[in-house]
Amino acid sequence: MTTMSNHLDLTGTLQSGPRGPMLKDADGMWWRLIGDLDPPPPNTLVRVVGRRHGAAAVEIDLCRPVD
């Protein structure tokens, strides 16, 4: 049996959404970010590491600007 990892490591830009911060990754996928977040300004390129929750949400372990 094959299992799928819930661990995600994404790079994209932050946006404000109606239910909180969102990340748009390089493939155009939108991810809702869950957890404590001291976000950089909108439209900043960031790296987000976390665990997948459902189809398009990520519980954040790390969020930091990409140098």
Q: pLDDT digits over 8-37, tens only? A: 999 999 888 888 889 999 899 999 999 987
The answer to whether 21 touches 45, Cβ cutoff 8 Å, is no
The Cα 32–Cα 59 span in angstroms is 9
Q: Would you say the pTM of this structure is higher than 0.75?
A: yes
Asked if the structure places residue 3 within a domain, the reply is no
pLDDT at 2: 44
Q: Which domain holds residue 41?
A: 8-65
Number of domains, the chain:
1
- The CA-atom distances, in angstroms, between 66 and each of 3, 12, 54, 56, 63 are 30, 9, 26, 22, 9
Q: Give, rounded to a whole angstrom, the gap between the first and last alpha carbons of the chain.
A: 39
